[in-house]
């Protein structure tokens, strides 16, 4: 399975699993990034980090290292 970090800008994916023991994982869950949520990487900052993601109409900035705890499946 891919992690969110590996997604290219503009690709859509579905969240399958989240690393829940980290504070980041907990925060993402609270924001509604639960398994089954559609997610999309919309931008990567000019310096290469962080990335902007979109889910349920919400735009959030996430450091790429933090995105490693989000496992996704590409949407075909």
Partner 1 sequence: MNEDTKPQAITIGVVGNPNTGKTSLFNRLTGLRQRIGNYPGITVERKQGTAFLENKAVTLIDLPGTYSLASNSPDEEVVLDVLCGQMAKEQPIDLVLCVVDTSNLQRNLFLATQIADLGLPMVIALNMWDEAESNGVDLDINQISTQLGVPCVATNAKKGTGVKTLQKVLQEALETQPRLNKTIWPKSVEDATDYLRDAIGEKHNLSDAHLRRILFDAESSLTDKLGWTDVSKKHFLTEARQFLLQDGLNPLAAEALLQYKHIEKLLKGVDRKSVVRNQRTESIDRILMHRGWGLIVFGALMYLVFQSVYSWSGPFMDVIDDGIGWLQGSVGSLLTNTPVLQSFITDGVIGGIGAFLIFLPQILILFFFVALLEDSGYMARAAFLMDKLFSWCGLNGKSFVPMLSSYACAIPGIMAARTIENPRARLATVLIAPLISCSARLPVYVLFIGAFIEPRYGPWWAGFTLFAMHLLGILLSFPISWILTRFVVKTKSSPFVLELPPYRAPKLNDVLHRMYLRGMDFLKTAGTIIFAMTILVWATLYFPRPEKVSQETTQSFVTELSADRSISVEQANTLLQAKTEESDALREDLNLAIENAYVSQSYLGRVGKFLQPIFSPAGYDWKITLGVMSSFPAREVIISTMGIIYRIGDADEESESLRHAMAKQKWDNGPRKGQPIFTIPTVLSILIFFALCQQCAATVGVIAQEIGWKWAVFSFSYMTILAWVLAVATYQIGMLLL
Binding residues (CB under 8 A) for partner 1: these are 18, 20-32, 34-35, 38, 43, 45-50, 52, 54, 56-63, 66
Q: From the CB of residue 34, how many other CB atoms can be counted at a distance below 10 Å?
A: 13
Answer whether 12's CB lies under 8 Å from 40's CB: yes
Answer whether 20's CB lies under 8 Å from 32's CB: no
Q: Give me the least distance between CB of 1 and partner 1, in Å please.
A: 16
Q: Give me the least distance between CB of 15 and partner 1, in Å please.
A: 11
Closer Cβ to partner 1, 61 or 73, answer by number: 61
């Amino acid at each position: 399975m891919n992690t969110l970090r590996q997604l290219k800008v503009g690709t859509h994916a579905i969240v399958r699993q989240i690393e829940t023991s980290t504070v980041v994982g907990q925060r993402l869950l609270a924001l509604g990034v639960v398994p089954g949520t559609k997610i999309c990487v919309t931008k990567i900052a000019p310096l290469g980090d962080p990335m902007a993601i979109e889910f349920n109409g919400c735009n959030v900035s996430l450091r790429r290292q933090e995105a490693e705890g989000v496992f996704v499946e590409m949407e075909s």
